Every structure is written in structure tokens, then in C-alpha cells.
Structure 1
Amino acid sequence: MKRVLTAAAALFFLAACTAESPAPGVTVPEAAEPTWSVACVSGTTAIDGVGDLELDCLGDEAPTAVGPDGKPMLVVLWASWCGPCQAEAPEVEAFYQAYGDQVDVLGVDTADVRDTGRSFAEEFGMTFPSVFDPEEAVRIGLGVPGLPGVAFVNADGTVAEVVAEPGVTTASLAETAESAFGLELA
């Protein structure tokens, strides 16, 4: 009988430790709201297949026309729930840091939850702007079958190339940008 009571007591305490509410006197910090906020700049040229689309900037929620603004652009489709997107985020950021003066980068948080997307951008230290696209208008317009995806868009809005396979690197983005845009990135 003593063993049964001991086992029952152990189960009781184990259940108490896994309960959702904290023990009396214990405070659990609330999940912090993301602070990431990179402003977007509206494009001046519509992208073929996407058209005159306006989406909210992920950072400050300002309406943003999706498209290039005088120079070529990488349109990077990503989401917080996308495993390959997590692997590619540092590569895209490195590309932006190295070549952002020659090629714009616009992230498109696709089929996601705004705060989760902002937390993702914060976690990966993204300094390039992103728009919020819960309805996947950009992905569908570009004909990208799933995430991740990168569209190489000329300054005139024509799509030069689309990479829809996971595994892009900073070097592969630079190589494709040079080829697609006829540039020599330095």
C-alpha cells in the first residue's frame, strides 16, 4: 500500500509540474512582442504578373507598392514556418549587405502571421524591407509553386529569372543577379 501511495504522490507532483498555470508566487514572463521594424519604400514600377499590387509593410504597416524603384530587385518569398527559409535568411541578408547599393531586396512574408513574421525577421537580423502578404498574391502572381522562392526583377518590372528551389546562398544569388541583370557586382 505504501508503494501505491508513493507512486500516486509522484504522479500528482509530476502532473502539477506540467500544469499550464505557474505555481503560486512564480511569475512567468510574457512573450515579448517583436520590435523589428524596417520601413519599406514603395516601388514605382509594377512587376509583370503581380501588377499594381499594394501590401502593408511588415515593419511599420505602411501601404507599399510592390515593385522596383529604378534599379533591379530581388523579391524574396519567405515565411517564419518555412524551414528552408530559415536556412536562407542569413544568405539573403549577406547579399543585401554586400550588394544592396546595386540591387534592391524586398522580402515578402508569405502566408504567415504578422507578429510571427516580425519575430523571424528580428531573430535573423534582417535589415532589408519586407511586405506582409497573407493571401500569397506575390507568390501566385510570380508563379512560384511554394516557398522559398526568389524572383530577379529588372528595373522595368520584367521578371528575368525565378529560383524556386531551396538552398540559395549569397554566392548563388550574386551569380544569378549578375547573369539576370547583366551586372558586375562589386
Structure 2
Amino acid sequence: MTCIVYIQDAMGWKVGFGVPVVLMILSTLSFFLASPIYVKPKAKASWLIGFARVLVASFRKRRIELSSPDTDELYHHRKGSALVVPSERIRFLNKACVVKNPEEDLMPDGRASDPWRLCTVDQVEELKALIKVILIWSTGMLVSVNVCQNSFLLLQASTMNRHITSKFEIPAGSFYAFMLLSLTMWIALYDRVIIPLA
């Protein structure tokens, strides 16, 4: 980034924007040239469909009462799954994996007769994990609003005396690199020095 900003400052905007374009073309070409050696597993089903099934199944079973965690309730789980019982957080989604009538809900091989009415414990837990992560992502949106105000730092840097020598001047746009370097050093100092001392 600092090199590109320096090129933009020293050689002009045309060359400064031309360098990232050339680099992007090279990265795209390398991506497609390396495509034959990628591992390409075949997707079984869309994860969005799996999440939609959990929501639909829990909505269809909204009137059933969930028993307390101590009682044995029959839950539908995949063969060989480590998760046999769903967690107690976001409990209303657990209704999607409750087997009300094993003869009607399950096929002879153990699969659900209607996957939009009965889901596995794994599917329910995956949706719960996504819901927990969405809360973290939402805080990241607020941080990005603050970080995306790039023009203020650029205006500040353009008013400063940025000369290191009489002929070399640090470009105003490269001040973002100083912010990232100071943040990286602070994280290392905090993790390796301050936390062990505390």
C-alpha cells in the first residue's frame, strides 16, 4: 500500500492506478491457471437450505412443549454424530429436531421422512452457531463505520511537515501504514508483555 501511494505521489495517478490493475490481472490469471490443482469437493446441499429447513421445522412445531433438559426426549441425529442432544441456548430451535412420532417422522433407514419437518441436531446447532456469529459481525459493522472515515487522516497528514530529508517527503496516503504498524506493535506488546505481567 505504501509503495503504491508513493508511486501515485511521485509518478501520477495514471501510473498509480495502473500498478494495482496489473497486479489484479496477474492475481486473476494465477487463480485461473492454478484451478486444475484445487481440491473441489462436491457439495451435498446448500447450507442456506439447511438453515431454512431448521427455521421452517421449528416454526411448524411451535406449539409443542419442550421438556426439561433432564428428561429423555427423542431427538433426530445423524448416524455417527457426536451431538445427540441439542444445547439449551436458543432453545426454541430445538423443536426442529424433536421426533414426535418415530413411525411417521423417520424412514426405515433412520432419515427424516420430511426434512422440512424434522432436522438433525447437527443442523440445529449449526444454525445456532451462525446466529451467535452474526452478533459479532454486527459489532464489526459499527467498527467499519469508524474505520472507513479515511479522508480525515489524509487531510491531517497533508497539513503536516512530512519531510525526512530535504528531497524525500513521506506521502500523505501512506500514513495508514503507520496506523497499522502501531496497531500491530500494540497487540504484540499487549499479548506478550502486559497480559503476562497482569
Is the strand fraction higher in 1 or 2? 1
Give 1 or 2: higher helix fraction.
2
> Which has the higher relative contact order, 1 or 2, with Cα contacts under 8 A spaced 6 or more apart?
1
Structure showing greater radius of gyration is 2
When the two structures are superposed, what TM-score results if normalisation uses the length of structure 1?
Answer: 0.23
What is the TM-score normalised by the length of structure 2?
A: 0.22
